[in-house]
Chain A
Amino acid sequence: MSGHGHGHGAGHAGIVEEAHERAFDPRLFRHVLTWARPVAAWLLLGLLMLVPLSAVPVLLPWIVKQAIDGPLGGTGASAAPPPQLPFGLDPMLLAWPRDLIGLALLYLGLLVGESLLRYAQGLVIQGAGQRVIRRIREETFGHLLRLDMAVFDRQPVGRLVSRVTSDTENINELVTSVLVGLFRDLFVIAGTIWALFHLDAGLAWVALAAAPVIAGLTFGFRRWLRASWRGLRVRQAALVAVLSEHLSGVRVLQAFGREDAAQEAFREEAEAFYGTAWTLTHVQGILRPAIDLATQLALAAVLWFGGRAVLEQGLALGTLYALTVYLKQLFNPLGELSEKYNTTLAAFASTERLVQLRETQPTVVAEPWAGDLSDGAGIRSGGLRFESVSFAYASDAPWVLEDVSFAIEPGQTVGIVGATGAGKSSLLGLVARFHDPGRGRIVVGETPLTAWSPEIWRQHLGMVLQEPLLFRGTLAENLRMGRAHLTDAMLLEVLHQFLGEDPARRWPEGLALPLGERGDTLPTGERQLVCLARALLADPAVLVLDEATASVDSATEEAMLQQIEARKGRAMTLVVAHRLATVRHADHIIVLHQGRIAESGDHATLLAAGGRYATMWALQAGEAAHGSREALLYGA
């Protein structure tokens, strides 16, 4: 084709995560191979197809050489030379055509064969690659979802998402493009060198003399080139950071009249980015032409020595021609080696991150000795007990809950009150087994909670979280949450109870009502209502409500409380609420203060004790006298 390099796109556009590189590591490479094992046969086939494929570029110039030396009379001597074939294939292919048409048809045949084979090889390799990637992706995602909640608390969502998106993509790139390309280049180079030596060993050495020069150039420049690439990525990250800072703080910048200063700061950053981009263009502007120059010089050397050989030793002209063509073929892949090297390093960094994630094991699991508890027998009749439970979010973090003990009898309701940060939500998180206690234990009937696998335990749980989270999809999908045994009629029935009217009157689309991202097409109150309905639908054995009625109007709250009340006795219920009216009918009320139980008992006992709860009640009674049902505390 031509010597023009297609300028390499400048890294990833968009938000740049600081790019990491990882040196070649055989352990990581073994992981990649293990992942690729199921499609090993296909990959092997793809690689095998490379053998005939890389023979074609070696054979084509040979045919032209045969034409020049044979029918076109390019040999110095008048007699046609005995046919020479590369790869020592002489005996088999002695019947090679020697006339022009025959050679041309052979050339065409090889071309067509190569095109078809190349297409097929691409499909084989990419198909295999996609299957590997899909498997890694799906397995990793499934694995990730079953990891401890602590993993999700510690890491930003975006980082976890990139494990199953861009990191896996990088590995695909490594397998299907870099490795396969490398093999093809190696085969072509090996075949070309073989052909060169077969043609003329002396001239082959002359041609190869340029190889160390080009290798030296690429590797000498590698450091410079990599430094420029890295510089560009760092600068791009800085530029994007300044831009997003200015965009998110634009109101402050404007209010303080700092537009000019911001403009200046950004201009500096853009200028610095341009500087590194210029350096990269400069480095590539030297490297690419330098490699071409080395190739051209090798060509000149071959023509000089080859020309002398033609004059002095009667070297065939076709041989000289073939030598010049092979030369270019030999050095083209060398120039791209350093870019491939960079891709490889990025892929290894991705592999390392993926391996790390896949080797992380959940600690919140079923204890192995526990046996099969999948039927959930005994939960409803067993009761639930906290035995001196203490909990912290990390081993070096302070206790969020300390020495908490209480019991819920079957069918009972426990109310939990306390200030923001007192540990209420953490306590509910322990019941849901989002975390396990650091000290003490939670017991269901006579079985410790840790005996259950968290997934099976949670099937018996109905939860309503503080934030009413729904998913994009239909109302039915959101209510059903994959529980296939829930029929449409059951969903409609529950909705009817909650709304106190035919759901079709509120939502003409009925169960097919489409919900937006995080359910945000519904007002908060309705979202919370749907969340409660979703939790109550499967008749859970344990019901966990975290401020479930915080943002609904009084009529809806009344309806929701009635629904909870209607299930009293069926389930053990834990209710966290700011409004004491919500918990006053609970069988047992716990007042949490800074992670400890400050007071506990039923409403009457606590009132009589005259402590914190009693004070709160007095204050809320005053508030209730004003007739407000709204939670005034929930401000921005």
Chain B
Amino acid sequence: MKPLAGAFREGTPWGILGGLLWRERRAYAVGAACLLACDLGQVAVPLLVGHIVDGLKDGSMALGGLGRSVGMLVGLALFVALCRYGWRMGVFGSSRRIERDVRVALHDHVIRLPAEAQRRRPTGEVMALATNDLQAVRAIAGEGVMAGLDAPFYLMSALLPMLWLHPGLTLWAVLPLPLLGLVSFLLGRRMHGTYRAVQEAFGRLSDQAQTTISSIRVVKGFAREAGATEEFAARSRDHAAATMRMVRMQGAFDPLIALLSGSSTVLVLIHGGRLVEAGALTVGQLVSFLGFIQMLSWPMMAMSWAYNMAQRARASVVRLRELFRETPEPPAMHRLEPGWWLAAPPTLEVRNLTFGYPGAHRPALADVSFVLAPGQILGVTGRSGAGKSTLVSLLLRQLDARPGSLLLDGRDLGEMAVDEVRRVFAWVPQEGFLLGRSIAENVAMGEDASGVMPALLRAGLGPDLALWPEAERAVVGERGVTLSGGQRQRVCLARALVREAPVLLVDDALSAVDAATEHRVLATLGEARRDRSALIVAHRLSVVRTAPRILVLDEGRLVGDGSHDALVAQGGLYARMWHLQQLERVLAGPVPGVGA
């Protein structure tokens, strides 16, 4: 079987949908067989009732015959019940499996997309694909397939006995059917249109509420409560109007169908009655006919229903295909021995690095060069927007740098396999992202569990761990331990420390840690480094000031390079930042009048 993602990339929308159904062909075959058997079983019921009526009328049926017929009816009912269970499991079960497989394929594809592709698609958009669009695919694979299969089966199994009973009368009975099919097809389409209009109106209503409530301070501050309510009311009126338009359309559907299928009964009653009077048809046969007519309207509706569902599924498949067509990380040109750096820690060289985001009018980094030797500690600082995080993203290959500007022991980072590059850096991200798992699992992330405890202690979490018993096994988040921003950052730091990577990459990851803890953590980090080098990015200068060498970035350019004392003495951006941050300390400090 072809992998799903591949099938999604290449196929036409219908081809993709067909391929999805084909995966479950066995279950569908069983389901289809059950459905057919079920329809045939159901058709026998009007025939039997007609038979009983005739037998009773002309006196040919005695109590024994009646018993046999009723017994058959009971047997049929049991058989039909079993078949119903069979097709439900066969068809609906398959639709659930298809849903599951596509969902898993989608997830696996998305988490392997390069950062560039991630950035283009907001999380909400991917979530909508994985829920709403997948729902449309499941609907066609379940209810859609059922309706599509059942309609012809059911139609045939009702029409054939009718034709056998009386072809002429059958013609009268099916007279309204084409009209019924047309009505349900056309109305079904327009109903969907009005339904979408309602959804859109509902979306605008929600947006309006969302915007107003999230700006409540401004709304209240300008005493705009009445005006905002009026704006919301306008959206609410639009929504109600759209709903009424849908109701006017939808409300016509059921009565029209009932009227059209009922008119079949009228035609059969008139024409069939004449035939009975003329002796060309028995009363029992007429009763059977009336029973079959009840069965005719469903296939017509089912076909148009399946058609509309298929159209919706097609649109969803096109959207899904777009996502599947995004290319995951490119493959490596050549692979290295695992742990190649263990013998000799590598040197990282940044050479005339320039990078601009698409659509930005100035580069995020311009002509930055430096060398990080094995065992060296380098601080990087600058104001927000200086390009610090861009540098980190480029090193991690979340963004692609110009070839030749990032070198690891002379090797271009861009030519290495992405996962190998990432194994070189132990990254501590800015956001403090943790999974909803235990602290221990979050720190280990697949590495050996024995390193977890020492790493937690080195990250300065010793006192915190003492406060929560069993904390390293407790789940992070609402159900378990709730971590403060600073604690999160330190767990992320521990996660990086566990890794045997030659370069520690800390991206402003102590911003929420208080000064005393920061001091303690920095001290232990210093001990731990030895042969590992470290790049420590921070906005807070107390974090980088102990580094022997500090780089200062401003608007993407390297504007300072040296030790803390040297940079303060130079009086540039670094010195100004240092003064301002000292000022902030004074403001927050415990005693008035403490100087810089």
Contact = CB atoms under 8 A, between A and B. Distances in A.
Interface string B117-137: 010000100111011101100
Interface in B196-252: 202, 205-206, 209-229, 232-233, 236-237, 240, 243-244, 247-248, 251-252
Nearest to A290: B81
Contacts of A169: 202
Given A290-B81, A300-B73, A632-B580, A599 B422 contact: no
Of B85, B256, B423, which is in contact with the most chain A CB atoms at under 10 Å from its CB?
A: B85
Contacts of A317: 53, 56-57, 283
A201 interface: no
Secondary structure of the B contact surface, majority rule: helix
Contacts of A307: 52, 56, 61, 66, 69-70
Interface in B524-570: 539
Interface in A93-133: 100-101, 103-104, 107-108, 111-112, 114-116, 118-119, 122-123, 126-127, 130-131, 133
B254 A277 contact: no
Interface string B166-206: 00000000000000000000000000000000000010011
Contacts of A142: 225-226, 229
B576 A628 contact: yes
A249 to B, nearest CB: 4
A270 B429 contact: no
B383 A311 contact: no
A620 interface: yes
A254 B70 contact: no
Given A161-B213, A304-B66, A481-B222, A243 B130 contact: yes
Interface residues of A, number: 158
A465 B220 CA distance: 12
B372 to A, nearest CB: 18
B209 A161 contact: yes
A64 B269 contact: yes
Nearest to A281: B92
A255 to B, nearest CB: 5
A130 B244 contact: yes
A261 B437 CA distance: 13
B588 A419 contact: yes
Contacts of A115: 255-256, 258-259
B226 to A, nearest CB: 8
A431 B132 CA distance: 46
B214 A157 contact: yes
Contact of A71 (B227, B233, B277, B294): B277
A257 B209 CA distance: 41
Contacts of A68: 283, 286-287
Interface in B257-284: 258-259, 262-263, 265-266, 269-270, 273-274, 276-277, 283
Nearest to A632: B580
Interface string B563-596: 0000000010001110111111011100011111
A634 B581 CA distance: 11
Interface in B384-401: 384, 396, 398
Contact of B248 (A107, A123, A160, A282): A123
A141 B422 contact: no
B69 A303 contact: yes
Contacts of A469: 215, 217-218
A157 B210 CA distance: 7
A636 interface: yes
A168 B184 CA distance: 30
**Residue among A60, A252, A257, A622 with max Cβ neighbours from chain B (10 Å):** A252
A550 B49 CA distance: 86
A72 B281 CA distance: 10
Interface string A239-259: 111111111111111111111
A278 B96 contact: yes
Contact of B131 (A7, A240, A610): A240
A481 B224 contact: yes
B584 A284 contact: no
A393 interface: no
B25 interface: no
Contacts of A277: 96, 99
B223 A100 contact: no
Given A126-B243, A321-B53, A458-B220, A311 B213 contact: no
Given A257-B419, A282-B89, A420 B209 contact: no
Given A111-B259, A118-B254, A273 B435 contact: no
Contacts of A112: 259
Interface in A611-625: 611-612, 614-616, 618-620, 622-623
B26 interface: no
A252 B429 contact: yes
Nearest to B256: A115
A44 B581 CA distance: 71
B77 A274 contact: no
B269 to A, nearest CB: 5
B225 to A, nearest CB: 4
A62 to B, nearest CB: 13
A628 B383 CA distance: 13
Contacts of A509: none
B273 A285 contact: no
B351 interface: no
Given A111-B259, A126-B244, A293-B78, A157 B213 contact: yes
Interface stretch (A8-16, A188-196, A439-447): A8-16
A60 B581 CA distance: 87
Interface residues of B, number: 157
Interface stretch (B6-14, B107-115, B404-412): B107-115
B233 A67 contact: no
Contacts of B436: 241-242, 245
Interface in B128-161: 128, 130-132, 134-135, 138-139, 142-143, 146, 150, 154
Contact of A636 (B80, B256, B539, B587): B539
Given A122-B247, A138-B236, A257-B419, A458 B223 contact: yes
Contact of B56 (A15, A160, A311, A632): A311
B63 A311 contact: yes
A549 B191 CA distance: 53
A272 to B, nearest CB: 10
Contacts of A78: none
B206 A165 contact: yes
Contacts of A456: 223
A104 B269 contact: yes
Contacts of A616: 583, 586-587
A86 B134 CA distance: 51
Given A138-B229, A619-B586, A250 B85 contact: no
Interface stretch (A34-42, A144-152, A403-411, A555-563): A144-152
A263 B53 CA distance: 63
A292 interface: yes
B104 interface: yes
A482 B224 contact: yes
Contacts of B593: 610-612, 614-615
Contact of B205 (A165, A262, A623): A165
A14 B203 CA distance: 13
A633 B584 contact: yes
A1 interface: yes
B10 to A, nearest CB: 22
A458 B226 CA distance: 13
A15 B107 CA distance: 16
B258 A137 contact: no
Sort A-B residue pairs by CB-CB distance and give the 4 closest, nearest first: A296-B77, A419-B587, A122-B251, A115-B255
Given A14-B128, A420-B588, 12 more contacts: A2-B42, A14-B127, A161-B213, A259-B108, A267-B104, A292-B80, A300-B70, A300-B73, A307-B52, A434-B217, A481-B227, A518-B211
27 contacts: A4-B150, A6-B143, A7-B146, A10-B135, A14-B128, A64-B265, A64-B290, A72-B273, A111-B259, A115-B258, A138-B236, A157-B210, A254-B398, A262-B111, A277-B99, A290-B81, A292-B84, A299-B73, A300-B74, A308-B63, A317-B53, A419-B588, A471-B215, A481-B224, A612-B587, A626-B575, A636-B384
